[in-house]
């Protein structure tokens, strides 16, 4: 194995791939990486609510201490809460033990940079290099790091959210909300934050449980049936569900319909851009044109990046964006912090509803409608870049093609919609996404371009 970090840190099944030994060595590698630029780095560590959290946290802490880092344990908390504490309390880095929405037998390690953002790919590769080289400098006994605990992160984080929404407007609206934390780390923040916002909160799966006894952790329609049933029963304005480490928020409208992440993203983007009277919104190339259409209509601009929330966050910083995010419910509010944040997302959604005084179904219905078709096709990993080059050459001459974008994979804009051909980072496949205002056109585009990819792969 030469690769540990995936798109979202290191993940694996506990005591199979994700062992105490790995966490210990990773602690040493992360610490050695930090020691390159600072003498005694300070590292905040925390976990989500999984059964294996303490085993991995203590091992990783031991590794960090052994190479001379000072470690502060922040306890169980959402990933964005740890990220906020790292930025605000001037830690040199953060480590969160989490496997996000994966099943309970999984766990993982994610490293946070000193500014609270997720590490960039090249930084992760450097840590990987140290890990595999086993080239870790011995630290003398009197240089071993110090350990302490701090329980102030959650209050600090909630204060920031409350300072970035119109609390009076939300409180006066006295909105009823069904909250489904999915027994994850969100339980430590979301119920009390909603109460502080004056909401009448109906709780579902709001006790932390390392086995995710209430529902599987990923906020997808099949896992949120209970929430979808409860929202109309309770007469709530919406339901909101978090994933295991509470960086993503997914909504259910007042009638109990699942609201797909591209819709809630576009709705909040429209609101934020209108409030800012324009501004830049950053998102990956795979995001629905629904976003661009509403952002443009409000006088804003969409900037596209390669797929991955750390990339989105970094570009947002660079271009001074007013908003950004991904279609999976991971929205980024730069005035608060540069990372996906579920609690900030539902707080902003409450403000939006309190201001608009319309039901969520109506607001969603006002958004432009696009149809997406997703296919995949096989291609050996070593041929992928050649195939993409050849594909962009072939399609460049076609009359229906208006523009080709190579930000991530090959995105082909045609008169009636776009097609994105993206190599999977983990499997020998290409994903072929097509989007159009018409379902039939999206289907036709997807199957025709999948065929083109197959032909290129064969030659
Ligand atoms: Mg997550």
Query: Closest Cα to residue 294, out of 344, 364, 346?
Result: 364
Can you say how many angstroms the Cα of residue 279 is from the centroid of all Cα atoms in its chain?
22
Is the pLDDT at 138 greater than 90? The verdict is: no
Report the CATH architecture of 156-365.
3-Layer(aba) Sandwich (3.40)
Report, as an integer, the average pLDDT of 341-348. 98
Residues 45 and 57: their CA atoms lie apart, in Å, by: 7
Provide the CATH topology of domain 10-151.
Alpha-D-Glucose-1,6-Bisphosphate; Chain A, domain 3 (3.40.120)
Helix (H, G, I), strand (E, B) or coil at 61: helix
pLDDT at 19: 97
Q: Where are the beta strands (DSSP E) in 262-316?
A: 279-284, 300-305
The domain locations on the chain are 10-151, 156-365, 371-458
Secondary element (H or E) of residue 310 = helix 309-319
pLDDT digits (tens, 9 = 90+) for 141-185: 999 999 999 999 999 999 999 999 999 999 999 999 999 999 999
What does the pLDDT read at residue 330? 97
- pLDDT, residue 5, reads 86
Q: What is the CATH number of domain 371-458?
A: 3.30.310.50
What sign does the CA torsion over 109, 113, 117, 118 have? negative
Tokens of 390: 């050849």
Spatial neighbors of 458 by CB under 8 A, at least 6 apart, are: none
32 C-alpha vs ligand 1 centroid, how far in Å? 27
User: What is the predicted pLDDT for the residue at 135?
Assistant: 79
State the distance from the centre of ligand 1 to the C-alpha of 139, rounded, in angstroms.
35
DSSP label of 257: -
- The rounded distance, in Å, linking the Cα atoms of 95 and 65 is 13
Structure confidence at residue 260 (pLDDT): 96
Q: What is the pLDDT of residues 44-93, one digit of tens each?
A: 999 999 999 999 999 999 999 999 999 999 999 999 999 999 999 999 99
pLDDT value for 2? 62
pLDDT, residue 380, reads: 93
What is the number of helices (H) and of strands (E) in the chain? 15, 20
Mean pLDDT of 185-208: 98
Residue-level pLDDT at 235: 98
Mean pLDDT of the chain: 96
The whole-number pLDDT of residue 110 equals: 96
> Mean pLDDT throughout 27-45?
96
pLDDT at position 205 is: 98
Is-same-fold flag (10-151; 156-365)?
Answer: yes
- Read off the pLDDT of residues 199-249 as tens digits, 9 standing for 90 and up: 999 999 999 999 999 999 999 999 999 999 999 999 999 999 999 999 999
Ligand 1 centroid to Cα of residue 246, in Å, is 6
Q: How many angstroms does the Cα of residue 142 sit away from the middle of ligand 1?
A: 38
Predicted local distance difference test score (pLDDT) of residue 388: 96
Active-site positions read: 100
Under DSSP, is residue 55 helix (H, G, I), strand (E, B) or coil? helix
294 pLDDT more than 80 = yes
> 327: which DSSP letter?
T
pLDDT in tens, 86-118: 999 999 999 999 999 999 999 999 999 999 999
User: How far is ligand 1, taken at its centre, from the CA of residue 133, in Å?
Assistant: 30
pLDDT at 257 over 90: yes
DSSP state of 118: B
Would you place residue 424 in the very low, low, confident or very high pLDDT band (cuts 50, 70, 90)?
Answer: confident
Residue indicated by tokens 């600090």: 156
């Amino acid at each position: 194995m030469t690769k540990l970090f995936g798109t979202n840190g290191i993940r694996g099944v506990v005591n199979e791939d994700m062992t105490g030994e790995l966490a210990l060595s990773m602690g040493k590698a992360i610490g050695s990486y930090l020691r390159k630029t600072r003498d005694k780095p300070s590292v905040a560590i925390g976990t989500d609510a999984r059964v294996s959290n303490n085993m991995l946290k203590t091992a990783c802490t031991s590794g960090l201490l052994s190479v001379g880092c000072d470690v502060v344990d922040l306890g169980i908390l959402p990933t964005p809460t740890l990220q906020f504490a790292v930025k605000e309390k001037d830690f040199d880095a953060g480590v969160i033990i989490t496997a996000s929405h994966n099943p309970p037998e999984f766990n993982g390690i994610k490293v946070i940079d000193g500014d609270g953002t997720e590490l960039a790919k090249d930084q992760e590769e450097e840590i990987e290099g140290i890990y595999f080289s086993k080239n870790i400098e011995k630290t003398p006994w009197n240089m071993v790091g110090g350990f302490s605990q701090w329980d102030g992160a959650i209050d600090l984080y909630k204060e920031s959210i409350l300072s970035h929404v119109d609390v009076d407007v939300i409180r006066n609206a006295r909105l009823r909300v069904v909250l489904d934390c999915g027994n994850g780390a969100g339980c430590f923040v979301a119920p009390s934050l909603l109460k502080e916002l004056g909401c009448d909160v109906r709780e579902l799966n709001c006790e932390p449980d390392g086995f995710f006894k209430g529902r599987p952790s990923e906020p997808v329609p099949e896992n949120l049936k209970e929430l979808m049933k409860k929202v109309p029963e309770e007469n709530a304005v919406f339901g909101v569900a978090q994933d295991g480490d509470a960086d993503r928020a997914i909504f259910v409208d007042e009638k109990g319909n699942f609201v797909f992440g591209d819709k809630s993203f576009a709705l909040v983007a429209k609101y934020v851009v209108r409030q800012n009277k324009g501004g830049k919104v950053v998102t990956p190339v795979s995001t629905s044109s629904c976003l661009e259409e509403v952002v443009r209509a409000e006088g804003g601009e969409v900037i596209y990046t390669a797929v991955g929330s750390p990339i989105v966050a970094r570009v947002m910083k660079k271009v001074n964006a007013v908003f950004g995010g991904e279609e999976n419910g991971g929205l980024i509010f730069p005035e608060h912090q540069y990372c996906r944040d579920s609690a900030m997302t539902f707080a902003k959604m409450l403000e939006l509803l309190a201001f608009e005084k319309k039901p969520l179904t109506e607001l969603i219905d006002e958004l432009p409608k696009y149809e997406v078709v997703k296919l995949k096709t096989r291609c050996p990993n070593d041929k992928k870049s050649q195939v993409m080059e050849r594909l962009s050459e072939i399609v460049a001459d076609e009359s229906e093609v208006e523009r080709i974008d190579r930000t991530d994979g090959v995105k082909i804009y045609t008169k009636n919609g776009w097609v994105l051909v993206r190599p999977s980072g983990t499997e020998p496949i290409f994903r072929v996404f097509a989007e159009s205002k018409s379902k039939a056109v999206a289907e036709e585009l997807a199957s025709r371009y999948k065929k083109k990819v197959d032909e290129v792969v064969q030659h």
